[in-house]
Chains A and B, each alone.
Chain A
Amino acid sequence: MRSLEIIPRPARPVAAWQRLWRQRWGLLFIAPFFVLFGVFSVYPILFSSWLSFREWNGVPGKEVFVGFENFSYALRDNLFWESMLNVVLIFALHLPLMLLVALVLAVILNQNFLRLQGLWRALIFLPHLTSMVAAGFTFRLILEQETGFANALLTGLGLPSVPWLNDVWWARVSVSLLLLWAWTGYQMVIFLSALQTIPPELNEAAMMDGANRVQIFWRITVPLLQPVIIFCLTVSLIGTFGLFTEPTILTGGGPIHSTATPTMEIFGNAFTNLKYGYAAALSYIYFLIVVVATIIQLRFTNRGQA
C-alpha cells in the first residue's frame, strides 16, 4: 500500500522533465539567439529606460537619480522638437512623389511590350546598394552652389541657380532628393513583385469594359496593391524618423539646424555633450512618437480601405 502512494509522486516531475527533454532540440536551437538577444537587445532597452531617470556623464558609478527632470527638460528642448519637425517635413517632401513614381515605374516595367526590363530594373535599383556616406558626398559635390553640376545644368537651361545646401528649405529638398534617389528603386522592386501576382485577366476585363489605362491604374492596380503600399509607407515613415547618415554627410544638419534629425540630436547629446541620461530620455520620447505616428498612419490608411 505504501509503495502505491510513493510511486506516482516522483513520477510527475520526471514526466515534466521528460517532456522538456523531448522538446530540448527546439529550445536548444533558439537558445543562442535568445542569449544574445537578451544581452544585446532586451537589456539595453531596459537599461535605457533606467538611465532616462538619471543624470550621467558615463563615469561608472556616478549615476544620479533625477526623477522626471530629463523628460521635463526634453519637453522644452527646442532643438529636439525642431528635429522632429524636420523629419516630418522631409517625409512630406519626398514620400508622395516616391510612392507615385515607384508605382508608375512598376506598372511600366510590368508591360509586355517593354524591352530590356531586367536592365531598367537593375539601373533604377542600383542606388539602393550604395553606402549613404559615398552617395552623400557625391550629392554634396553635385549640389554645391557655386561649382556644382546641378546649378550648371539649371543656368544652362536658362533657369536661376538654387542654393541647394545653403538655404533652410532647399537643404530639406536636397535631403529628400537623396532619399528619392536611394529608395525609389527599392519600392519599385517591391511593387513589381506584387504586381506580378495580379492576374492579367483583370486588366483585360477592365479594358473590355472601356476603362483606360489611367482608370485601371487608380481603380484596380492601386487598390489591389494597398497592403504593399501600406508596408512601404510604414517602412519609409520609420526610416525617415530614424534618418542619420544622409543628413550628417550631405548637410551636417544645417543650415541653421534645418535638417537635423532626432537620431542626430540623441547622438549629439550622448557622444558630444556626454549627457547619457538625457539622451536616453530623448530616445524614449522619440520611440513613443514613432509608435504613435505609425499607429495613426495605419488607422488612416486602413480607414481608406473600408
Chain B
Amino acid sequence: MTRRSSSRAAPRPPLSQHLVHGLIYAFIVAICVFTTFPFIWMLFSSLKPLGEIFGQGLLPANPSLENFRRLFTETPALGALVRSFLIALTATVSSVFFCALGGYGFAKFRFPGRGPLFALMLGTMTVPFAVMLVPLFVMMRNVFHWIDTPWPLIVPGIANAFGIFFMRQYMVSISDEMLDAARIDGASEWQIFLRLVLPTTTPALASLGIIFFMGSWNNYLWPTIVLRDPSSATLPVLIASLQGDAGRTPYDLIMAASVVSTLPMLIVFLLLQRFFYAGITAGSVKG
C-alpha cells in the first residue's frame, strides 16, 4: 500500500522512458527466444516421425512417444541412462569428499612443503586435457585394464585441482576458535572434519557437487575414448554413436535421446538454481 501511494505521488515517468523500457523488454525476450528455441525444437522433434522432422513445421502433427519407445527398446539407451547417472553420482560424491578433505588440509594445517605443493597443483591446472589424453588412455588400457568400465570416469577425476582450490578458498574462512574448541572437547581431527567442517560448508559442497555432476553427465571427449563397446556407453557417447552414414542419421532417435539427456539436468537446475549460480561465480571471483 505504501509503495503504491508513493509511486502515485511521484511524477509520471515520461513517454521516452516507457519506450526505452519497452525496447529493453523486447531485447530480453528476443534473447530468451534464441536461448530456448533449440530446446523447444528438440522436444517437438522428438515427438515427430522421421519424415516430419525435416518438414520445417514447428508443432508435431500427431505428437507421439513412439521415438522414445523405439529408443528404449531398439538401442541400449536405458542402460546408458542408468550408467550415466551412477557414474555421475559416484564421481561427484567421491570427488567432492576428497576435494573437501584436501581443501581443509591446505586451509587449516601447516606442514612442510605446503606452499610448493599448492603451487604445483595450481600449475597443472593450466595443462590442457589433450596433453594427458594419450598417456591416460595407455594407462587405462595397459596398466589398469579399465577400458569399457566406469572407473576411468570416476577415479582420475577424484584428484581435481580446481575442486581443491575451490574448497580451500571456502575452508579458510572457518573460524580457528571453533576448531580449537572442538579439540579441547576431545574430538579427534577426523571427527572434527566429518561432524563440524563438512556440515558448516554444505553450500560450497553443493555448488562444487553440481559443477562436477554437470561435467560428468555431459562429458563426451574422455568417455568416447575409454568406452568403446556400445554396451558400456554413457548417454552422450550413445547419442553420438546413433548417427549412421551421412544422410541416414536417425534424427528421430537422436532427438528423443537428447531430450532424455537434457531433462534431468533441467530438473536439477530448477531445484537447485542458486547453487548453480554460486558455483559458477565463486570460480570466477576467486579464480
A300 to chain B, nearest CB (A): 18
A127 contacts chain B at the CB level, 8 A cutoff? yes
A257 to chain B, nearest CB (A): 16
Distance in angstroms between the alpha carbons of A186 and B240 in the assembled complex: 25
Distance in angstroms between the alpha carbons of A161 and B271 in the assembled complex: 41
Number of interface residues of A (CB under 8 A): 92
A18 contacts chain B at the CB level, 8 A cutoff? no
Is B56 a contact of A270 with CB atoms below 8 Å? no
A298 contacts chain B at the CB level, 8 A cutoff? no
Task: Summarize B's interface: helix, strand, loop or mixed.
Answer: helix
Is A108 a contact of B24 with CB atoms below 8 Å? yes
Is B136 a contact of A30 with CB atoms below 8 Å? no
Is B102 a contact of A291 with CB atoms below 8 Å? no
Contact of A130 among B99, B124, B132, B265 (CB under 8 A): B265
Is B266 a contact of A129 with CB atoms below 8 Å? yes
A91 contacts chain B at the CB level, 8 A cutoff? no
Q: A262-305 vs B: 1/0 string, CB under 8 Å?
A: 11001100110000100110011011001100100000000000
B156 contacts chain A at the CB level, 8 A cutoff? yes
A249 contacts chain B at the CB level, 8 A cutoff? yes
The A-B contact count (CB < 8 A) is 271
Can you name the residue of chain B whose Cβ is closest to the Cβ of A130? Answer: B262
Is A186 a contact of B56 with CB atoms below 8 Å? no
Which residue, of A20, A32, A44, A244, has the highest number of chain B Cβ atoms within 10 A?
A44
A22 to chain B, nearest CB (A): 9
CB-CB < 8 A to B170: which residues of A?
Answer: none
Is A113 a contact of B21 with CB atoms below 8 Å? yes
Can you name the residue of chain A whose Cβ is closest to the Cβ of B278? Answer: A193
Q: A227-256 vs B: 1/0 string, CB under 8 Å?
A: 010011001001001101100110000000
Known interface pairs A29-B101, A130-B262, A142-B41; A23-B129 also in contact (CB < 8 Å) = no
A97 contacts chain B at the CB level, 8 A cutoff? no
Distance in angstroms between the alpha carbons of A48 and B261 in the assembled complex: 34
Can you name the residue of chain A whose Cβ is closest to the Cβ of B17? Answer: A113
A124 contacts chain B at the CB level, 8 A cutoff? yes
A190 to chain B, nearest CB (A): 5
Known interface pairs A33-B98, A133-B261; A23-B236 also in contact (CB < 8 Å) = no
Can you name the residue of chain A whose Cβ is closest to the Cβ of B164? Answer: A33
B182 contacts chain A at the CB level, 8 A cutoff? no
Closest 6 CB pairs of A and B: A26-B109, A29-B105, A134-B258, A36-B159, A44-B135, A40-B156
